[in-house]
Every structure is written in C-alpha cells, then in structure tokens.
Structure 1
Amino acid sequence: MTTHPLADIATWAQRQGPRGIPSVCSAHPFVLEAAMRATLPSALPLLIEATCNQVNQEGGYTGMTPQDFRDLVDGIAERVGFPQDRLILGGDHLGPNPWKALPSEQAMQNACVMIAAYVRAGFTKLHLDCSMGCAGEPVALDDQQTADRAARLAAAAEAALPGAPAPPPVYIIGTEVPIPGGAMEEPGKLAVTTADAALATVEIHRKAFVAAGLDSALRRVIGLVVQPGVEFGNHNVIDYDPNAARALSAVLPELPGMVFEAHSTDYQTPGALAALVRDGFAILKVGPGLTFALREALYGLDQIATELFPNERPISLRATMERVLLDHPEFWQDYYKGTADQQRLLRHFSLSDRIRYAWPMSQAETSVSLLLDLLGEKPIPDSLVSQYLGRLTPQLRAGTVGPNAKVMLLTSIENALEPYIAATQ
C-alpha cells in the first residue's frame, strides 16, 4: 500500500523542500487550470478540494457528484500536462451541512453516503465537520457530539476504501470557521483558538475514534482546523497577527504528527501567508480569492471587448451576470444587506465573492464563451490592458505574458495563487 503524500506533513518544516501546501477550494475549470499551471514549476503537489455543498451525491450547487468532479480535474490535468501523481483531491466540511434541515439521523445517513462517494472517487484528504446542528438541535453542537459524528463519518469512509494500491485517506478534524460558503456578517476582531481548546478538540476526537475501533484512521489524522485570527468579509480583511496566535502555535509540539489547517486565508498578504506557514499553519485554504481574481479579469476583458467591438454583442458579461444573480437571489440575499444600490455593488464586487455560485449557470457560461470567442487570439493593445487589467502590465512589458484574452485570464488567477505557493516552499 502506498503512503499518502501528506502523511508526514508535520515533518516538512524540519527538512528540505516544501514547508506546507496551498489548498485550492474551487470547482471552476479556469481556476483549476490556472492552479495546475502555477503549481507545475514548483516542488509542490496540487491539493484541490471540493466542499459538501458544492459537490455531493445529489450534485451540490455545481451539479457535480464526487466522480464528476474527479473526471473534471483529470480531464483538465490531461489537457494541461499536469502529472496525475502530483494531484491530491480533498473533501472540505464533509458532514451533514447540506441536509441540516432534516432530523440528525437522516442527515448523518446522507453524510455517510456522501463521504463514501468521495472515497470511491479517489478523494484522499477528508475534512470531517459535524459541528452544525440539524433539525431541532442547537445551531452548533458540543465537542462530544461533533467528535462522535466525525468518527461515524470516518467509519463510513474507511468502509468504502478501494484497497491497495491507493493510499488510505488522511483526515482533518475540527472547525473554527464560518459555515461553508463564508461568513454571514462582516467580521470584526476575531478570537484566536486557545491552546486548551485545540488540545481538547484533539483529545475528544481521539477518544471517539478509539471507541469506534478506528485506531488506523486515528493515526492518519494529520491536521486540526483552528482559527489563527484571519478572515474576510464583503469589504474588509483581517490580517494575520503572529503575536495573537503565539500561544496556539506553541502547543503544536504537543500534537505529534499534526499541523494546523487555516481556512479563509484569502486576500492575506504574502508576508502574512509566510508567517502562517512558519507558525505551523501548514495547510492554507484559498477559494473566493481565486474566483475574485477570475471575476476581476473577466470584467476587465468585458470592458476591453466593449471598447474594441462595441456593436458585436447584444449584452455585456457584466449585464448578463446581473440578470443571473437577480434570477438566483439564493446565492447572495442572506449575505448582502443594505440598500438596493449597496446590494448591487456587493453582488459583483464583494470580497466574499458569492458571484462564484453563478458561474456554472448556463447563461453565465454562454456569455463567458462569447466574450472569449470574440476576443479570440487577437492581440489586445497595451493601453487597454493598462486601463482594464493594469496588474498585468509589468508582465506584459516583460514578455512573460502575451496580450491574449485566455492567457491573461489564466495569468490573473495564477498571480492570486502565487503568494500561497511561495509561502509554502
């Protein structure tokens, strides 16, 4: 049986090579392609994760099952030339959240079916998150209930293992983050996870796994989700403060074989990302920050197309996306408050980037295709790149990126991921 490439991640900081790994949390094909292009020259494997709401046995909001997602990633990898043996697929927040409106037993049965489907599709990094209450329960469960349900999920995952030569999965436990999908409110000052809370979470899960006869799975728990004091909202980013997380980082030696996993690291500065990895937060989750870069680049190309071909399209991409978002208020209305004008701006420009839920809609996909087909391989004048995609101007001048729409789109996403790659190498 082969060993999982992340099995020894807790030792990476003591040897030559990568010290951590970015976790790309997106199902958008352009983001996945850009992540492969950005990671290929590095020494890192590429960790791509899907969330329970995004991908599950019922399709999730992307319409994809775990096997569908696997097929999507494999197809892009083959086209890009990214080696299969450097790909790691993960499942994020795997638990009853998609079915939390149901009674707990029914929701957990669905969650067990889901995690088994993830395992059978070749996902080998599994975040167990059963912290949310179901029908008739508190919004958040206590540590014991959370751990007991996590052990039940792990048992379902272990039962679904295909066997050799695939490596058995590694597990992440704990949840110190907003619900899948992002923060419901603008974050203020965050409370960093305490050292005692981190130790208690691990111990309660250890006992639950042992009680369930999951000693082998317990040895493959490699990470704990904690709150290092980072988050972002619609307009603001809370940057990492190493001093605030010092006590939490200091407890990591008491958790042998484990690292911390940091969620919501989107929009952190390169220095903050490097400090997070240095302090033991070896797995850096990023998702909305990458689709925000995707949206920025597409809107820039949309403006360029309007300047170059003012009469070639009946409707712009921006106007199309507004129609799609208004047709699907479930994507954003619980998250974006304020006046009609404030909500309109948030629909397109919020750092929470809930527009990412709209890109799989057929109208959106058609509009993006029309835009890229219109621009095609035609060189875009430097002056228009400067006006609407100004961040790419230095690379354009240096000749490291060509004035081509698709190339500039992918490069914009790569640029957003590069600080994560740099921080973990």
Structure 2
Amino acid sequence: MSGIHQNRAVAFSKLFGERERQLPRGIVSVCSAHPFVIEAALRRASREDRVALVEATCNQVNQEGGYTGMTPTAFKRFIEAIAEKAGLSPKDIIFGGDHLGPNPWRMLRAEEAMSRAEHMVQAYVEAGFEKLHLDTSMGCAGEATSLPDELTAERAARLAKVAEDAARRTGQRPPVYIIGTEVPPPGGAAHAIKALEVTHPDAALKTLAVHRSAFDKAGVPEAMTRVVGMVVQPGVEFGNTNVVFYHSEKARALASTLDRMPDLLFEAHSTDYQTARGLSALVNEGFAILKVGPGLTFALREALYALDAIRTVLAAGNPKDSLPAEMETLMLSQPEHWSDHYHGSGDEVRLQRHFSYSDRIRYYWPESRALSAVDALLDQLPDPIPETLISQYLSRVYPEVIAGRVAPRARDLCLAAIDAALDPYSVATANQP
C-alpha cells in the first residue's frame, strides 16, 4: 500500500472511530450554521449512505455564544434536529471544531485569550465534538500578528491537554486533532489574489516536529497519536472577486511529504468554488479533507435572489418587497461584517456586499429582518413555480426539476441549489471501483 493510501486508511479509521462504515477516499467538511445548508448536506449524506462531517468555527460557536448565539452543545442539538428531518442518524455525523484557539479574543492579552480558548475547547469536548482543529497561530494583544512555530505548538499542546482532560472526565471519546493553519486567514482573502504561496515541504515537516515536541513536553504524547491531519496551503483560495484554482504541479513537492508523515492527511481549507476536477486531484494527492462553507451560502443566495426575480415577474414588476433591497438596508445599518473586507468605489463595494465570493452577506441571514424577508419571499411564490421561470432564473437546477427529482417549490429549489454546489465534493471523495 502506497504512502498516501496507507495514511488515508489510518487517518480515516481514527476519524470514524467505531462507526462501521467503509472508509472513504476523502471527506467534505461542511462549515456552516445556516439551516438550509445543513439540511442539504445531511440529505445528501443520507441519500449516499455516507457519514457527514459538520464543523463550527471558533467565532461562530463558542462558550459565549459566538456570532450565531450558540454554544457547542446548542449547535450540536441544532444539527441533530435537522438530521432527524433529513433522515440521517446522529451517529452518522462527525462534529468538528475549526480554528479552535484564541482568535475570538485575540484583542486581549495572550494569557486571558488562551484561558478563554481553554474553556472553549473544554465546551466542545463536553458537547461531544470528535474532531478538533487546534489553531493558536495568531498573535494576541501586544504580540506579533503571526507567532513562531514553537510558541504556536506550545499553545496548541496546552489546548490538547485541556481536551484530553475533558474527554477523560466526561467519558467522551478522545478527540482526533488537526494541526497547522493556512494563509490567508480562514474565510477567504479580503482582496483580489494575484499569487499564492504553496506551503513549503520543510514548513510542513517542521510543523509536525514542533507539535510532537510540544505535546511531549505538555504530557500528552498520546494526543499526538490522534493527530490525523495538518492544515496546509496547497494553492487554493478565493478572494472577493476571484478564485485561485488548484494546480497539481505546484503542490507536488508538498504532497510528497506525506510519505514522511505516517498516518497523516492534509486538510485543505477554502476549497469553495474549485472545479470537480480540481477537488478530485486534491483528494488523489492527499489533501483528503476538503473544507467548504461560503460557497454553499453563495449558492443559497443565488437561489434566493433568483426566486426574488421570479416573484418580480409574477407580480408584473411590482412586488410587495425586494429581498436584495431589504438585505442592502440591513447590511448598511450593520456594516461590521463587511466594512473592513470590501474595498473600491461605492458601486464596487455595493456589488461585493451582495455578490462577493467571500459571501459576507451570510452573516446577515440569521437577523430577524432577513428571516422575515426570506419568509415573505417563500410565502409569496406559487406552488408550483412555472418551469419556464425556473429555466430562466434557476437553470442550474432546472434539469433536476423536469426530471422530477426536485419539486418546483421555492424551498426545494433553495435546497437543490446548495446540493448542486455539494455535488463536485461527492464526486471527488467517492470511492472508486
């Protein structure tokens, strides 16, 4: 068995734990808290008889509520409630925590930020999260923006010790870990990307070595045996207005380092908007955990705006409301989620607010004003929606509608649009005959 195949078998065996399932070639990690996105992902997992990997980020979900208002326990219950509706057993969901570290509190001094990060990791483990990405690479108040590898590893080991103690105390399954981080930061870059530096093989090997040393010094060498992956930059990213696509030749040297990293896989972040061929190549070459998030809410926003256009046609150009107008008013009244990320002229920034690849409009869908606007849109559309209008405005899902696989109803069309964005991931991670 070749290095990558051996690594894949061992790493996924640890990730899946006692689940009696055929181990996959790769797995998609869905990083979203939007109920439509979660439902689409879990329905696909149920339909394909797969295990679903759902992850929450440190900013999204933490012991203080995060921007979703959910603790890890609340998030897990939220996902499990959707799973029941989607026909997927909760046992077939792996819950993960992404970028767990001091990031939500990085404006505080390091000791206070790390103390809060420890409480967060404890809360994740106590809630039953099985996969923890430890990311302590960011500097806190008074520190450099990026920290030395040794300090990053020391802080990661500190969090691993908290996780190990919490699992032992509560009787939870000991978690598996992901180490390392990618550049640019999570969620996509805030500018157009002209060049992207692939992680150097020596940097990946050093990351592994310093973490192994730090875990030993922290007294948790057994936790290091459950490190199943490392976040690296294989040359994929998206900015506000462009996408950097995967090129195997640029990551060949990095991929070859897996031969010197027994039992590990690479985890690729920001894989949103990659082609099916690119995703398949990533999995083939050892980047077997594919993170996606904004690309799925982008697909949802496309569907909602298309449905709004259909509503306008059906109302003869005089709809009661306009979803884009409602969202524009909301985003202008609460600019904190986009003002530091979108740049350019007034018109350029306006377009980015609605149509950016980084999809920062996703932060506004849980707001009461947005929820009311979406509910009004869905309620005002007929059932069924005319097929010809679906062809005009939702051509991506039109073939599924006329084939009878998707009902011509507003909510079903939203789920189908998200499902279409997930399809390349299913193709890329499917076991080959």
Conserved 8 A contact 1:39-1:421: no
* SS of residue paired to 2:55: strand
In structure 1, C-alpha distance between the alignment counterparts of 2:99 and 2:76, rounded to whole Å = 18
Q: 2:209 aligns with which of 190, 203, 206?
A: 203
In structure 1, C-alpha distance between the alignment counterparts of 2:39 and 2:22, rounded to whole Å = 28
**2:305 matches 1:299:** yes
Q: 2:197 aligns with which of 188, 191, 197?
A: 191
In structure 2, C-alpha distance between the alignment counterparts of 1:388 and 1:422, rounded to whole Å = 26
Conserved 8 A contact 1:249-1:279: yes
Counterpart residue identity of residue 44, structure 1 = R
Counterpart residue identity of residue 106, structure 2 = K
Q: TM-score, with normalisation over the residues of structure 2? A: 0.93
Give the C-alpha shift of residue 169 in structure 1. Answer: 0.7
Q: 2:68 aligns with which of 62, 71, 77?
A: 62
Counterpart residue identity of residue 97, structure 1 = N
**2:58 matches 1:21:** no
Residues 45 and 163 of structure 1: is their aligned pair in 2 closer, same or farther, counting only changes over 3 Å?
farther
Name 1:103's counterpart in structure 2. Answer: 109
What CA deviation, in whole Å up to 9, does each residue of 1:122-149 have, x standing for no partner? Answer: 1111000000000000000010010000
Name 1:402's counterpart in structure 2. Answer: 407
Name 1:387's counterpart in structure 2. Answer: 392
In structure 2, C-alpha distance between the alignment counterparts of 1:359 and 1:284, rounded to whole Å = 24
* SS of residue paired to 2:167: coil
In structure 1, C-alpha distance between the alignment counterparts of 2:59 and 2:407, rounded to whole Å = 37
In structure 2, C-alpha distance between the alignment counterparts of 1:411 and 1:156, rounded to whole Å = 41
Q: Write the mapping of 1:40-189 to structure 2, written as runs, cut at 5 A.
A: 40-161=46-167, 166-189=172-195
C-alpha RMSD of the superposition: 1.9
Query: Please, which moves more after superposition, 198-207 or 396-405?
Result: 396-405
In structure 2, C-alpha distance between the alignment counterparts of 1:165 and 1:99, rounded to whole Å = 29
Q: 2:418 aligns with which of 409, 413, 417?
A: 413
In structure 2, C-alpha distance between the alignment counterparts of 1:220 and 1:372, rounded to whole Å = 45
In structure 1, C-alpha distance between the alignment counterparts of 2:319 and 2:178, rounded to whole Å = 47
* SS of residue paired to 2:98: strand
**2:276 matches 1:270:** yes
* SS of residue paired to 2:405: coil
Query: Please, which moves more after superposition, 52-61 or 291-300?
Result: 52-61
In structure 1, C-alpha distance between the alignment counterparts of 2:13 and 2:43, rounded to whole Å = 25
Percent identity over the alignment is 57
* SS of residue paired to 2:311: helix
In structure 2, C-alpha distance between the alignment counterparts of 1:238 and 1:182, rounded to whole Å = 11
Residues 8 and 138 of structure 1: is their aligned pair in 2 closer, same or farther, counting only changes over 3 Å?
same
In structure 1, C-alpha distance between the alignment counterparts of 2:11 and 2:180, rounded to whole Å = 21
In structure 1, C-alpha distance between the alignment counterparts of 2:44 and 2:147, rounded to whole Å = 39
Q: Write the mapping of 1:267-416 to structure 2, written as runs, cut at 5 A.
A: 267-309=273-315, 314-375=320-381, 378-416=383-421
In structure 2, C-alpha distance between the alignment counterparts of 1:392 and 1:180, rounded to whole Å = 29
Give the C-alpha shift of residue 315 in structure 1. Answer: 2.2
Conserved 8 A contact 2:125-2:172: no
Give the C-alpha shift of residue 370 in structure 1. Answer: 1.4
In structure 1, C-alpha distance between the alignment counterparts of 2:296 and 2:232, rounded to whole Å = 22
Q: TM-score, with normalisation over the residues of structure 1? A: 0.94
| Contiguous gaps of at least 5 residues in structure 2 | 1-9
* SS of residue paired to 2:128: coil
Name 1:240's counterpart in structure 2. Answer: 246
What CA deviation, in whole Å up to 9, does each residue of 1:23-71 have, x standing for no partner? Answer: 0000000000000111212243100011011111111111111111111
